[in-house]
Amino acid sequence: MNNSLGFPGIFRGVLDVRASTITDEMVIAAADELAKTAEDKGMSEDHLIPTMDEWEVYPREAAAVGLKAIEQGIAKIRASKEELLGRASAVIKRARDQAKVLMDSGIIAQPPEEGENEK
């Protein structure tokens, strides 16, 4: 597994509550949520962790990280799990939609298909 499944959600969670630092406990909360997402989606021999295309993992991680920061007293903004999940989902969906428009219009390149060599 690489960092692309962890860092987007971790940073979103930190930003959403304006946390003053990133703690080990916040990163563990993100990892726990990543595992819960995999369980919720149904794990199999071919599908152990979510893929980067399963974008719902990022808001879930963000909410978990934000809640942990609030619990640890290092967040400047307090919010409920539902508020954090809604905020992160909206921001991430908007960014994904904007990237799709840019890719569809040819302004930025489409990512290579799985197994396709990058040029």
Asked if the structure places residue 72 within a domain, the reply is yes
Cα dist from 50 to 37, 53, 54, 67, 109, whole Å: 7, 8, 6, 22, 24
Residue 118 lies inside a defined structural domain of this protein: no
- The CATH number that applies at residue 93 is 3.40.50.720
- Is 74 among the domain residues? yes
Give the total number of structural domains in the chain.
1
- pLDDT tens by residue, the chain, 119 residues: 678 889 999 999 999 999 999 999 999 999 999 989 888 888 777 778 888 888 899 999 999 999 999 999 999 999 999 999 999 999 999 999 999 999 999 999 988 876 666 44
Burial zone of 97 (CB within 10 Å; 0-12 exposed, 13-18 middle, 19+ buried): exposed
Task: Give the span between the Cα atoms of 37 and 35, in whole angstroms.
Answer: 5
Does residue 116 sit within a domain? no
CA angle 83, 76, 90 (to 5 degrees): 30
> Which two three-digit tokens encode residue 16?
């959403």
SS (H, E, C) 47-62: ECCCCCCCCCHHHHHH
